[in-house]
Structure 1
Amino acid sequence: MTDVHNSATRSRNMAAIRGADTKPEILVRKALHSLGFRYRIHVRELPGKPDLVLPRYRAVIFVHGCFWHRHDCHLFKWPATRPEFWQQKLDRNVANDDRAQLVLRGIDWRVATVWECALRGRTKRNFDQAIQELAHWIRSEEKVLEIKGL
């Protein structure tokens, strides 16, 4: 195969990866909605474009994929090819996450992160319990919450 073909294939594959409306995100959205929570999604005006924004509670929720946000769990594995590219890309994602959360907390938003490994894989948690923990946090005054796999 030629380099051009490999590049085109790689571009198509990367384009197919969803940055929004992922399966874990939709699961969390539906569960919170069924509990009566109302939210906005992917608010561009806020740093990091949070997946869910609950203005009434001054709370935002990020539903992070473990690979794309380099979570230290069994779902994250370094790709075997193009290590420099992936190191830079994933480092940049983590830096962007940290910066967005810092700015959000600085402008008095509460921040929750739900990791993919909490919802699927061998370390997944009981989904209803994870959602109840998230709902409790939303109603609380706690500033930060992280829900990850067991």
Structure 2
Amino acid sequence: MNQHAKAISFVLNGSKTEMLVQTHENLVELLGRLDLYGARESCGQGLCGCCTVIVDDVAVSGCLYPAAFVDGKTITTIEHLDHDVQLSPVQQAFIEEGAFQCGFCTSGFILMTHKLLEQKPMPTDEEIRDYLAGNLCRCAAYPEIINAVKSAATKMART
């Protein structure tokens, strides 16, 4: 084994996974090696939210999160939100409300919206803006994103 590599095991989207990671590798790079590209590195500084991944039920910036730190943890990516090929209410609301343009930031917004609605099932506009403040949309689809969050909240309240 390379002296700069470490063997780790973790649960990824419900499946036990074992990998050899480089000590300098971040979580986005590790996910890319597993053909999961929903979390994207954009700013490389944890400021834009494009690289959002859920680790042990906490949203993290995958561009700053060392891959070796997921050893023994549970990871959820955007690719795992649909169940039995059915979109989650949040994913469906983002589509219905047109809450994206280029789509580069969308997976981060969707994951953060899931976390928000777990904590606040019916958030106000101010609570939505505050919670999603760490996610940036360069296309400025913010009004549609706010509408999508409110729509998703309503959908989830019905179920």
TM-score category, normalised to shorter length = under 0.3
Q: Which structure has the larger Rg over C-alpha atoms?
A: 1
Larger relative contact order (Cα-Cα within 8 Å, sequence gap ≥ 6): 2
User: Scaled by the length of structure 1, what TM-score is found?
Assistant: 0.27
Which of the two has greater helix per residue? Answer: 1
User: Scaled by the length of structure 2, what TM-score is found?
Assistant: 0.26
